[in-house]
């Protein structure tokens, strides 16, 4: 008895699937949201600078906390100094991000 109901349910599901109309999506073609390549490069520079500055600030904070919590432990002090060095490198790269974008503009002939 239950097999009949399962068979009826399957038949109903197949009929509904086959007779349902296919929804047609409206297609739009977006080539670019930015008007020029220069805008894209400027946006990329801004994002790179923001991310690098954020990561460098995190390293600076971690280094400061490690240094405060070291309690005279030379190993922890060295780890804190390494975090400070990493933060300095990060801030240096942040300062150099516009230079990298200018090099890309020169390569692309802009």
pLDDT in tens, the chain (110 residues): 555 666 666 776 666 666 665 556 677 776 667 788 788 888 888 888 888 899 999 999 999 999 999 888 999 999 999 999 999 998 998 888 888 878 877 887 87
pLDDT of residue 87: 92
pTM above 0.75, yes or no: no
Q: Is 1 helix (H, G, I), strand (E, B) or coil?
A: coil
Q: What is the DSSP string of 20-82?
A: SPPP-PPP-----SSSSHHHHHHHHHHHHHHHHHHHHHHHHHHHHHHHHH-TT-HHHHHHHHH
- Provide Rg for the chain, Cα atoms: 29
> Would you state the structure tokens that stand for residue 105, as one six-digit string?
């503009």
Determine the pLDDT at residue 20.
Answer: 60
């Amino acid at each position: 008895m239950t097999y009949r109901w399962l068979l009826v349910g399957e038949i109903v599901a197949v009929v509904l699937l086959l007779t349902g109309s296919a929804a047609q999506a409206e297609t739009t073609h977006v080539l670019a949201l930015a008007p020029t390549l220069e805008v894209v490069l400027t946006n990329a520079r801004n994002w790179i600078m923001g991310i690098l500055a954020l990561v460098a600030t995190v390293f600076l904070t971690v280094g400061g906390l490690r240094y405060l919590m070291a309690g005279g432990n030379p190993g922890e002090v060295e780890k804190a100094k390494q975090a400070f060095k990493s933060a300095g490198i990060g801030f240096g790269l942040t300062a150099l991000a516009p230079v990298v974008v200018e090099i890309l503009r020169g390569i692309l002939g802009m």
